[in-house]
Amino acid sequence: MEHCKTPLTLAEKILAAHSEGEADGTLKIRIDQTLTQDATGTMAYLEFLSMGIPKVRTSLSVSYVDHNTLQSGFENADDHIFLETVANKYGIVFSKAGNGICHQLHLENFSRPGITLLGSDSHTPTSGALAAIAIGAGGLDIALAMAGRPFRLPRPRIVQVRLTGRLRAGVTAKDVILELLRRLSVKGGVNKIFEYTGPGVETLSVPERGTVCNMGAELGATTSIFPSDSRTREFLRMQGREADWKALSADEGAKYAETIEIDLSSLEALAACPSSPDNVRPVRELEAEGVKIDQVLIGSCTNSSYLDMEMVASILKGRKIHNSVSFGINPGSRNVLEMTSGNGMLFDIIQSGARILECTCGPCIGMGQSPCTNAVSVRTYNRNFLGRSGTVSAGVYLVSPVTAAMSALSGHFTDPTGTSENLAKYPKPEEYINDKSMFIQPDYSGDVVMGPNIKPLPRFDALPDTLEARILLKTGDDISTDHIMPAGAKVLPYRSNIERISDFCFMNVKTSFKKEALENAAVGKASVILAGRNYGQGSSREHAAIAPRYLGVRAVLAKSFARIHRQNLANWGILPLEIPDELYESLQEGAALKIDTSALEKNEVRLLTDGGECVIRTSFTAEEVRNLRAGSLLNA
DSSP character at residue 6: P
Stretch that binds ligand MIC, among 47-55, 79-87, 120-128, 413-421 (CB under 6 A): 120-128
Residue placing its CB nearer to ligand SF4 in the complex, 361 or 545: 361
Name which of 278, 301, 275, 269 is nearest 405 in CA terms: 269
- 582: burial class by Cβ within 10 Å (0-12, 13-18, 19+)? exposed
Q: In angstroms, how far is CA 391 from the centroid of its own chain?
A: 21
Pick what 69 binds: ligand SF4, ligand MIC, none; C-beta below 5 to 8 Å, kind-dependent.
Answer: none
Smallest separation (angstroms) from ligand SF4 to the CB of 39 = 8
- Choose from ligand SF4, ligand MIC, none: what does 300 bind? Cβ within 5-8 Å by kind: ligand SF4
Identity of the residue, 340 or 540, whose beta carbon is nearer to ligand MIC in the bound complex = 540
Q: Does position 487 bind ligand MIC by CB under 6 A?
A: yes
The alpha carbon torsion through 273, 378, 218, 168 (nearest 10 deg) reads: 90
Binding site for ligand SF4 (CB under 6 A): 67, 101, 121, 123, 300-301, 361, 364-365, 381-382
Choose, from 127, 539, 540, 632, the residue flagged as catalytic: 539
CB of 381 to ligand SF4, least distance (A): 6
Q: Which is nearer to ligand MIC, 539 or 597 (CB)?
A: 539
Residue of the chain from 121, 195, 348, 358 that contacts ligand MIC (CB under 6 A): 121
CA distance 610 to 452: 47
Query: With contacts defined by CB under 6 A, how many residues of the chain interact with ligand MIC?
Result: 14
Cα–Cα distances in Å, from 297 out to 224, 272, 307, 373, 408?
Answer: 25, 15, 16, 17, 9
Contact call for residue 551 and ligand MIC (CB under 6 A): no
Contact yes or no for 254/12 (Cβ under 8 A):
yes
Supply the minimum distance, in Å, between the C-beta of residue 350 and ligand SF4. 22
Kindly state the DSSP code that residue 178 receives in the 8-state scheme: H
Residue pair 188/219 in contact by the 8 Å Cβ criterion: yes
Q: Is 541 a catalytic residue?
A: yes
| Candidates 231, 383, 563, 566; catalytic one | 383
629 is catalytic: no
| Exposure string over 107-116, b if 16+ CB within 10 A, otherwise e | bbbbbbbbbb
Check residue 40 for interaction with ligand MIC (CB under 6 A).
yes
Annotated active-site residue in 32, 79, 121, 141: 121
Q: Is 596 a catalytic residue?
A: no
Closest distance between ligand SF4 and the C-beta of residue 593, in Å? 36
SS3 for 419? coil
Does 39 engage in binding with ligand MIC (CB under 6 A)?
Answer: yes
Which of ligand SF4, ligand MIC, none does residue 101 bind (CB under 5 to 8 Å by kind)? ligand SF4
**By CB under 6 A, which span of 3-11, 119-127, 254-262, 497-505 interacts with ligand MIC?**
119-127
Nearer to ligand MIC, 416 or 486 (CB): 486
Shortest gap between Cβ of 181 and ligand MIC (angstroms)?
Answer: 16
Report the residue number, 248 or 544, with the smaller CB distance to ligand SF4. 544
The answer to whether 561 and 477 are in contact (CB under 8 A) is: no
- Using the minimum distance from each CB to ligand SF4, give the nearer residue, 103 or 533: 103
Contacts of 277 (CB under 8 A, 6+ apart): 181, 186, 215, 218, 382, 383, 384, 398
Given the residues 470, 541, 543, 563, select the one marked as catalytic.
541
Give the nearer residue to ligand SF4 in terms of CB position, either 67 or 112: 67
Q: Pseudo-torsion of CA 397, 398, 404, 408, nearest 10°? A: 20
Among ligand SF4, ligand MIC, none, residue 29 binds (CB under 5-8 Å by kind): none
The smaller minimum CB distance to ligand MIC, of residues 361 and 553, is found at 361
The DSSP element (H or E) to which 407 belongs, if any, is helix 401-410
230 is a catalytic site residue: no
CA 513 to chain CA centroid, nearest Å: 25
Q: How far is the CB of 472 from ligand MIC (least distance, A)?
A: 23
3-state secondary structure of 494: helix
Convert residues 369-388 into a mask of x (bound to ligand MIC by CB under 6 A) and - (unbound): --------------x-----
Question: What are the b/e assignments for 274-299, b being 16+ CB within 10 Å?
Answer: bbbbbbbbbbbebbeeebebbbbbbb
CB-nearer residue toward ligand SF4: 123 or 231: 123
Q: What is the sign, positive or negative, of the torsion defined by CA atoms of 63, 64, 65, 66?
A: negative
Is cis: bond before 72, omega within 30 of 0?
A: no
Q: Which does 40 bind (CB under 5 to 8 A by kind): ligand MIC, ligand SF4, none?
A: ligand MIC
- 539 included as an active-site residue: yes
Does 123 sit near ligand MIC (CB under 6 A)?
yes
Q: Which residues contact 305 (CB under 8 A, 6 or more apart)?
A: 104, 207, 210, 332, 336
Per annotation, catalytic residue among 32, 38, 66, 482: 66
Provide, rounded to whole angstroms, the least separation between the CB of residue 445 and ligand MIC. Answer: 29
63 lies in the binding site for ligand MIC (CB under 6 A): no
From 252-260, 391-399, 523-531, 538-546, span contacting ligand MIC (CB under 6 A): 538-546
> What are the C-alpha distances in Å from 109 to residues 62, 335, 435?
11, 11, 10
Nearest residue (CB) to ligand SF4, 197 versus 389: 389
Angle at 565 between CA 160 and CA 125, to 5 degrees: 40
Kindly tell me which residue out of 146, 190, 311, 365 binds ligand MIC, with binding defined by CB under 6 A: 365
- List residues bridging with 151 in a β-sheet: 29
In angstroms, what is the minimal distance from the CB of 375 to ligand MIC?
20
**DSSP string computed for 48-83:** HHTTT-SS--SSEEEEE--SS---SSHHHHHHHHHH
Q: Of 70 and 608, which has the nearer Cβ to ligand SF4?
A: 70
Q: Which stretch binds ligand MIC (CB under 6 A): 118-126, 273-281, 590-598, 600-608?
A: 118-126
Q: Which stretch binds ligand MIC (CB under 6 A): 279-287, 303-311, 430-438, 537-545?
A: 537-545
Q: Which does 632 bind (CB under 5 to 8 A by kind): ligand MIC, ligand SF4, none?
A: none
Q: In angstroms, what is the minimal distance from the CB of 42 to ligand MIC?
A: 10
Catalytic residue flag (residue 383)? yes
Q: How far apart are CA 34 and CA 31, in angstroms?
A: 7
Contact 496, 546 (CB under 8 A): no
The CA distance from 223 to 47, in Å, is 25
* CA–CA distance, 633 with 379 (Å, rounded to integer): 38
The yes or no reply on residue 92 touching ligand MIC (CB under 6 A) is no
Q: Hey, is 160 helix, strand or coil?
A: strand
Q: Which is nearest to 482 in space by CA: 540, 529, 554?
A: 540
Among 539, 560, 597, 627, which residue sits at the site for ligand MIC (rule: CB under 6 A)?
539
Positions that interact with ligand MIC (CB under 6 A): 39-40, 67, 121-123, 136, 365, 383, 487, 538-541
Residues recognised as catalytic: 66-67, 121, 383, 539, 541
